[in-house]
Each structure stands twice: as C-alpha cells, then as structure tokens.
Amino acid sequence: MGELLEALERAGELERTVVVMTGDHGMPFPRCKGNLYDCGARVPLAMRWPGVIRPGRAVEDFVSVTDLAPTFLGIAGLEPPAVMTGTSLLEMLRGSGNDGEKVELLQSNRPRLPIVGTSKTGSP
C-alpha cells in the first residue's frame, strides 16, 4: 500500500485519487471463512479520499462489498443501475450519516463444529 501511495504522489495524482483497500477472509480456518463468526462475516475496508474522508476516521456501520460499485459510480457522478443491490456509501463517507438503517440477512447451512474435540470429518 505504501508503494502505491508513493507512486501516486510521484505522479502528482495522490490528492485527486480515491484509494480503497479491502481483503478476503483469508485462509479457510475453522470458524472463519465461510462461517458466520466475526472473522467469517467481516473483512477489512480502508478508504482514502482527500478532502472528503477525514484521516484517521473509523466507521462502525455495517457495509457490504456490494456497496462499493454504487459508491464508485456515485463518486464518478453516475447513477447506479436499478439491478445493483448495493447501496452507495457516499453519505456515510462524507460524514453526513446514511439514508436509513441497513438490513442484511446472513444465513449459513453449515453445522457448527464443536469447540472442543473433532468432528466426524476430522476438522477441529
């Protein structure tokens, strides 16, 4: 990330570029990726937008990666198509709140493995 920011700065584009960093859930460890524990339902998301997002600001609101495309379109001044299920994060990023409560349903059909011992498949 540091190298990217340095390259943008050298090119004179750092102050006019929105930088977004997010990640995957990592390795499929038990009670992580593909499960509804915190580490399976949360991924990192960091954004830098000079003049809009205050440096060091932390937001605890629930967002989804499906919200990124409508957000990018909004930054470009475009309306997202009606088929997009995500919600633009522009109001939240600008610090003026959001347009209402966001409701998401997370459902898993995976049985929870025992905390102690092993399952029949040998997974801890």
Torsion on CA atoms 113, 115, 118, 123, rounded to nearest 10? 50
Q: For the chain, first and last CA: distance in Å?
A: 35
Domain extent, residue 22, equals 1-54
Span 1-33, pLDDT tens digits: 899 999 999 999 999 999 999 987 666 666 666
**24 and 47 inside one domain:** yes
DSSP 77: T
pLDDT tens-digit map of 35-75? 666 766 778 899 999 999 999 988 877 788 889 999 999 99
Residue 50 in any domain: the answer is yes
**Could you give the CA distance from residue 120 to residue 124 in angstroms, rounded to a whole number?**
10
Same-domain status, 35 and 65: no
